[in-house]
Structure 1
Amino acid sequence: MCDELRPSCTRCIKGRHACPGYKDEAEIIFRHWARPEVPVHVDVNDAEIETHALDIFMHEFVVEPADRALSRGFLDGMPALLSRAGPNSVLANAAKLMALACVANQQRRVALLSRLDNDYCLLLRRFHESLAAEGDHVTLASLYTAVLLGLYEIISETESSPKRQVTHVQGVGAILVSGASYLDWDAGAPIHELGIPLLLKLTTSDTRTHGILRASAHSPTPPLDAIMISFWQFLNRVSAVLDESASSKGELAQLRHEAETLEQRFTLWSASQNSERSAQAPTTAGVVSEQAAGRSAIPYCHSGAVDVYLDYYVATVWNTYRKSHIYILDVMMQIDARLDAQVDSTDLKAKAEDITTRVIATIPFLLAHDVAEYLTQVRSGSSRVRANRPVGGLLLLHPLYCLATNPIVSLATRQYCARCLAWIGSHMGIGQAAVLARTLDGESLSARLNPDPRLPFQFMSESNNLIWAGMLLQGG
């Protein structure tokens, strides 16, 4: 029996590998969760939607990687975990909560949202009891229960209930740091260290590991993981120096040198990725003219290139690099202003804007159901473009917020990012996106960071860690 229709076999279809031929039927596993069409229309009552909650979760949030040798998915191994845990488990109920909150937000089902909050409180009690029973031997199912509960809180967030997911971020981090759960123990592969998204904590001494997105094994360019380690170490020092008005010129000059070194490393990494034309490099699917963008009623439509990627994970890795690179450029501009009030920051701003355009070019890939359809509809002047699954909006939350609150980015672009967040909140049902968009008014967009004291930048980083945790779990 040919296995070519399974997503894991698309490597064969794309010509990257020779076809492995036919598989023995005894090896084939048929799963009932294979992404059915689910009833989520406005005319379907709450009870029927709740009946299909797990199917909705699989359809909207579980993403397989395009190629397991090159990438990761999102909650990719969840079907196998749920199958072992059972439909009435704490894990399954956390998945249902997450899916139902998203639908309830999209369709303004106030009664369902209220009931979910009550269910959430009861489920938390069950979860704490199960953790207590596990003691020091926390299971993978419990780790991902914490992840799903945190994602539920991101989705269900309102202005009256910010920061609820911080407890789950800390819990997930504690489980990983303790070594109680190993995500890839069979393969001896690296796992993420949640405190530093994208970074790897090796479970073996295998020196062949080059990181999650890298230049070829023969390239002299350091892997992105190594650069991000330096970046996060730099962040631990930069705020204290910049916030201290009495910082000496020597301290500022040293910080400027470190920032410039990091900026050069980011630049070299990006150039190496694009020049190799690897599967991880973006491909431009089309270009939206200024006239077409001006006519479009789609809030996230923007003029310029529209890029596509191997999959969502690769696009998100690129955006993580980009927002980090832009932050470094902003730090350089701030230090220059402190050292010399007459310094010209034109070049830094231009480079930041150029990198920002590449983030913008990823937005239709993550928010539109189909990029080709999006381009056709935009060019025709139609506003009827189907939305992507909500997972695309989750993966854009942090990059958009970072751009919207960074003054090196033009005001027009920051306003555009705020509109995108509002759209993700209203059309994809991600509550935190709607909250963030409301904090980004005209006055706060002109401010430094933290336009709302309830939503500090560190809080957004914690949310981002939970979203990245969704990419740790891998299916077979």
Structure 2
Amino acid sequence: MVYCGKPSKGCGNCRSRKIRCDQARPACAQCIRAKRECPGYRDQLSLMFRDESRSVIRKATVEVGASPSIGPKSKGPTVRSPRTDCPDGKKGSNGPVGRAMRPRDPIHQSVDRRASAFCSLSPEVQPPAEASREEAICFFLRGNAIPGNVWAGEFVERFMDDPSPTPSKRAMQSSLLAVSSAMLSRARKKRSLQRLAQEEYVSALNLLNTALADVKEAKTNQALGAVILLAIYEIICSRAPKDIDQWTRHITGATALLHLRGPDQLKTEIGLRLFLHLRYQIVISCIQRTARVPRSLFDCTEHAIWLRPAEDKSNRLIMIIGRLASLRADLREGIVTDSHEVLAITSRLEADLVAWLATLPPEFNYQTETVTPYDILFQERRGGLVPYDDQYHEYPNLWISNTWNQYRCTRIIINEIALDHIRKLALSSTNASLSEEIWQQCKAQRINIRRLAVDICRSVPYILGALPNSRSHAALPLERFMGGLTVLWPLFLAGIVERPNHALRCWVIQCLRLIGHSFGFDQALATMDIVAADAGILREVDDHNVAEECPSPVSMGTPPIMPDVHYTQIPASEETII
């Protein structure tokens, strides 16, 4: 695959007229103004990398035919291979194969170099009918091109620095190809890529089982990276709600690997990044299964506090979430049964969250904006995403927005547990004045849960890159692929807060459908089905109706949990938390 430069994103009419195109859907403003039919937009990735196999074969044949034999040199004219046109009309190199056009953009050059490191070329040069494996990996790297992401930058290249073909390295290669091909198969709607993804997935499982049989191999970064990639594959390909258990099994396996690796895994930058990437998934998986968080994860988190002071806020939040998981496990096992004791525990957790909130530095501040009536192209420009209640948040970076949603999800679950036991006390109380006091507290819990759910919805446009003041996109930008992963769990919790047919739940369902179709996440569609069928944490009844049936907080479904992605810090702007 040869890089042919960054092509124009404009429609055909705007490119031919050499004018700026706003890339609006279904037709750009320039075509509407000129009363022309807008021809639409091209697939950027297919234009950026072009199959040059036929050209390589032709050049090789010419060079072989022109090679001098033993004897005097031929004095005939030199045969030159024709130039190769790029899709946007630019000219390629007319030199030998070794001087094929190189990308001028250093970012794309780095992506192309890293992708080439994963793909071994076949001895026979054959033009592929479909997108190549290298192109699929480029597609994956582009979707993760966010500063600090463990799958971006030089981190992926370092994973493969070891030249020896170890089982763990081969397992990670197959896992990466499985995820990359699955992503591209949804973007291109190619069944051949889907079959390739399934084949690589099976190959990765077999190679990983071989690697895990050796303790030394099981402790490598490549083995853990392969498991994480397989979990991402399940997010992309698991459409049925029951298939979500496949993701859970991979996370459980990754938990065992973290325990085996111990604190020593934090001594390298890649090992520390992998731990920070994975730990939130493990903690929330424990909450889903009402299981206890392994002690080894807490031990590694305590080490991480000293090794990475910049992660202090996230580390302390993880410790609080871990305690919440322990409470849910105690409730399931019947260790804690007294409602007064449960409320005392939830009050301490709530107080710790409020204290954590009070210590956040200014760079965690965000702003709440309102969509104005004049922004009529917001929905068309942003892939159909409309902010809930016409309001959205703006954060300094994606890592901070993810941390805020972790806090909101934790507090929703704490308030749900407290609400359930407040109702139980009210039902068992014979004191009218005490019952009234309890119901007032119940009302306050409802208000907290609703406010947190709305804040989650307001964070979604930023996380998915659908803001009116950012660079225009005809659809949700691929670079927000990881944002789409991280927002599924918060959207699930926000969606099950209200009763069916409530405006907030309807908005969440539409948002999950958009994520599923825009990013190709089948698990987003599975989550959508779970949300649509849930009875809701809050019911549309009077707060004093003691006959209300309360949902049990320990019987929550097992929706998908998305990776905890950490990003490099960005200098804070002067913003205020609304």
TM (normalized to structure 1)? 0.70
Is 1:335 paired with 2:421? Answer: yes
Partners of 1:86 and 1:92 within 8 A in 2: no
Q: CA deviation at 1:140?
A: 0.7
Give 1:189 shift.
6.6
Q: Distance between the aligned counterparts of 2:108 and 2:475, measured in 1?
A: 32
Q: CA shift at 1:320, angstroms?
A: 0.8
Residues 112-168 of structure 1: per-residue CA shift (max 9 Å, x gap): 223421332123212222333455652111110111112112111122744223332
Given candidates 78, 100, 104, the residue that maps to 2:156 is: 78
**Letter of the aligned partner of 1:314 in structure 2?**
I
2:357 matches 1:357? no
Q: Please give the alpha-carbon distance, in whole angstroms, between the structure 1 residues aligned to 2:347 and 2:325.
A: 15
SS at match of 1:373: coil
User: How many corresponding residue pairs?
Assistant: 400
**1:286 alignment partner, SS class:** strand
Distance 1:253 1:362 in 2: 35
What's the secondary structure of 2:367's corresponding residue? strand
Q: In the alignment, residue 34 of structure 1 is paired with which amino acid?
A: S
Match of 1:437 in 2: 528
Asked whether the equivalents of residues 353 and 410 of structure 1 are also in contact (C-alpha less than 8 Å), the reply is no
Match of 2:223 in 1: 142
1:96 & 1:47 partners in 2: Cα distance? 15
Aligned to 1:224: 317
On the 8 A contact 1:393/1:428 being kept in 2, the answer is yes
- SS of equivalent to 1:306: strand
> Which position in structure 1 is the counterpart of 2:261?
179
1:396 maps to amino acid:
V
Which structure 2 residues correspond to residues 363-374 of structure 1 after superposition, within 5 A? Answer: 363-368=460-465, 372-373=469-470
**Offset at 1:444?**
2.6
The Cα shift of 1:52 comes to 0.9
CA distance in 1, matches of 2:268, 2:478: 37
Are the equivalent residues in 1 in contact too, given 2:141–2:151 (CA < 8 A)? no
Q: Deviations over 1:324-363 (max 9, x none)?
A: 1011112221111111146243322222222223222221
C-alpha separation between the residues in 2 aligned to 1:180 and 1:85?
26
Q: Is the 8 A contact 1:241 1:252 kept in 2?
A: no
Residue identity matched to 1:229? G
Tell me which of the two structures has the higher relative contact order, counting C-alpha pairs closer than 8 angstroms and 6 or more residues apart: 1
Q: Is the 8 A contact 1:158 1:431 kept in 2?
A: yes
What percent of counterpart residues are identical? 14
Q: State the 1:253 CA deviation.
A: 1.2
Structure 2 residue runs without a partner (length 5+): 1-105, 116-127, 285-296, 428-434, 539-554, 569-578
Query: Residue 241 and residue 415 in structure 1: after superposition, are their counterparts in 2 closer, same or farther (change >3 A)?
Result: farther
Residues 291-314 of structure 1, C-alpha deviation per residue, up to 9 Å, x if partnerless?
A: 979994624532354323343222
Mapping of 1:191-270 within 5 angstroms?
191-192=275-276, 193=279, 195-196=282-283, 201-202=300-301, 204=303, 212-214=311-313, 223-239=316-332, 251-270=338-357
- Please state how far the C-alpha of 1:236 moved relative to its aligned partner: 1.8
Q: In 1, are the aligned partners of 2:179 and 2:233 still within 8 Å (CA)?
A: yes
AA at the equivalent of 1:256: L
User: What is the DSSP-based 3-state SS (H/G/I as helix, E as strand, rest coil) of the residue aligned with 1:144?
Assistant: helix
1:106–1:302 Cα change, 3 Å: farther
Map Cα deviations across residues 76-131 of structure 1 (whole Å, 9 max, x no partner). 62232134468993322311211221222244333422342133212321222233
Relative to 1, partners in 2 of residues 1:171 and 1:446: Cα closer, same or farther, differing over 3 Å?
A: closer
Offset of 1:59 from its aligned partner?
1.0
Equivalent residues in 2 for 1:40-51, closer than 5 Å:
47-51=130-134
In 2, Cα distance between equivalents of 1:137 and 1:103: 29
SS at match of 2:559: helix
Which of structures 1 and 2 has the bigger CA Rg?
2
Shift of 1:75: 5.8
Change (3 A) 1:423 1:266: same
Return the match for 1:402 from 493, 515, 519: 493
* TM-superposition CA deviations, 1:237-286 (whole Å, max 9, x none): 234569x9xx5xxx01110121122112212322332xx41x2x132273
Q: Would the alpha carbon gap of residues 49 and 309 (structure 1) be closer, same or farther in structure 2, given more than 3 Å must change? A: farther
* Amino acid corresponding to residue 530 of structure 2 in structure 1: T
Amino acid of the residue matched to residue 486 of structure 2?
A: L
Residue from 559, 562, 565 that aligns with 1:460: 559
AA partner of residue 425 (structure 2): L
Residue 372 of structure 1 aligns to a residue whose secondary structure is coil
Is the CA contact (8 Å cut-off) linking 2:174 and 2:203 kept in structure 1? no
Gaps of 5+ in 1: 1-29, 39-44, 66-71, 216-221, 378-382, 449-455
Letter in 1 for 2:247: Q
Code of the aligned partner of 1:339: L
Cα distance in structure 1, aligned partners of 2:332 and 2:497 = 14
Q: Structure 1: how far apart are the matches of 2:263 and 2:510? A: 39
Aligned to 2:172: 91
1:176, 1:267 → 2: CA distance?
Answer: 30
Q: Residue in 2 aligned with 1:314? A: 400
Moved more, 365-374 or 95-104: 365-374
How far has the Cα of 1:457 moved from its partner?
4.9
CA distance in 1, matches of 2:406, 2:112: 32
Q: Provide closer, same or farther for how the CA distance between residues 180 and 271 of structure 1 changes in structure 2, counting only shifts above 3 A.
A: closer
Q: How far is 1:202 from its partner?
A: 4.8
Letter aligned with residue 437 of structure 1: M
Q: In the TM superposition, what is the alpha-carbon distance from 1:35 to its structure 2 partner?
A: 4.1
- Cα pair 1:330 1:406 within 8 Å, conserved: no
3-state DSSP of counterpart to 1:307: strand
| 8 A contact 1:403–1:409 mirrored in 2 | no
Q: How far did residue 393 of structure 1 move?
A: 0.7
The structure 2 residue matched to 1:412, chosen from 486, 500, 503, is 503
Q: Are 1:105 and 1:431, in contact at CA under 8 Å, matched by a contact in 2?
A: no
CA gap 1:389/1:189 in 2 versus in 1, 3 angstroms = closer
Aligned residue for 2:516? Answer: 425
Q: Which residue of 2 aligns with 1:392?
A: 483
Is 1:91–1:141's contact at 8 Å kept on the other side of the alignment? yes
User: Which residue does the alignment assign to 2:551?
Assistant: none
Contact 2:366–2:395 (Cα < 8 Å) also in 1: yes
In structure 2, relative to structure 1, the CA distance for the partners of 1:130 and 1:362 (3 Å cut) is same
The residue number in structure 2 matching 1:288 is 371
